[in-house]
Amino acid sequence: MVKEQMVNIFIFDLGGVLINLNVPRCMAAFERIMGEDNMQRILGMDSRGEGVKAVSVACKQLMADYEQGLISTDTFIAELLPYCHPGTTRQDIIDAWMSMLEDLPQERLDFVDSLRVKGHPVFLLSNGNDLHFNFINETYHLASYFDGMFLSQRLHLSKPDPQIYQLVNDQITNNKCQITNDQMVNFIDDLELNRQAAEATVHWRTFPSILALKASL
């Protein structure tokens, strides 16, 4: 059980922690509209949703720029269209991109809410993009569950860059969540690389899933 006298801070990833993702389904959708070769070259994934090495520098930059909010959704789609089969529409690309998202179980949001009810500040730290995030936020009223949301497309930084962890740590320290020696920042992220960077940069305690976090409380 969480000790009631200790106010801890919790920082959640979004994709793969709160909302379920289906990367293979997304890649299959893109394969249909642009072919396997272009899908691998542009998105860096094969039909099973596994990463491939043969991705051009320009295409890697396109994905990174969209994730960090350096280009708009319209620009992102416009850059993808030339690699798609003739007749592919803007909506086809949107539908393929959105097919990555599955459900966000209410019990996970209820758990986040239960931490806030106990007085623990709760934040979101997500690498994402406007198409995905806007849909999730509107569908699940995500903002109402968190004291603050740190998004790659708003910060123009993405995990596992050490700068994003330092920026978030500084902001929660200077906010109402002054970190003291008897507090713990708990970071839940499904990607080991992101957790390792957080541990090394700001010494957060990390967990790969909500289940792992619950087991520690």
Specify the pLDDT at position 209: 97
Distance CA 156, CA 139 (A): 24
Distance CA 14, CA 151 (A): 10
Domains and CATH numbers, the chain: 9-20+103-216 (3.40.50.1000), 23-98 (no CATH)
pTM to 2 decimal places: 0.89
Helix ranges (H only) for 57-190 are 57-67, 73-80, 90-98, 106-117, 130-140, 152-155, 162-174
Tally Cβ neighbours within 10 Å of residue 23: 17
Quote the pLDDT of residue 7: 73
Task: Write out the two tokens for 5.
Answer: 């006298």
Q: Cα(first)–Cα(last) distance of the chain, in Å? A: 5
**pLDDT score of 38:** 83
Interatomic CA distance for residues 39 and 14, integer angstroms: 24
Tens-binned pLDDT, residue by residue, of the chain (217 aa): 444 446 799 999 999 999 999 988 998 999 999 998 888 777 776 666 566 555 556 677 888 899 999 999 999 999 999 999 999 999 999 999 999 999 999 999 999 999 999 999 999 999 999 999 999 999 999 999 999 999 999 999 999 999 999 999 999 876 655 555 556 899 999 999 999 999 999 999 999 999 999 999 8
Which among 160, 190, 198, 186 is positioned nearest to 13, based on CA atoms?
A: 190
Q: Is 14 helix (H, G, I), strand (E, B) or coil?
A: coil
Q: Please answer whether residues 122 and 18 qualify as being in contact, where contact means their C-beta atoms are separated by less than 8 angstroms.
A: no
Tokens standing for residue 108:
């996970």
pLDDT in the model for residue 184:
83
C-beta of residue 199 within 8 angstroms of C-beta of residue 180: no
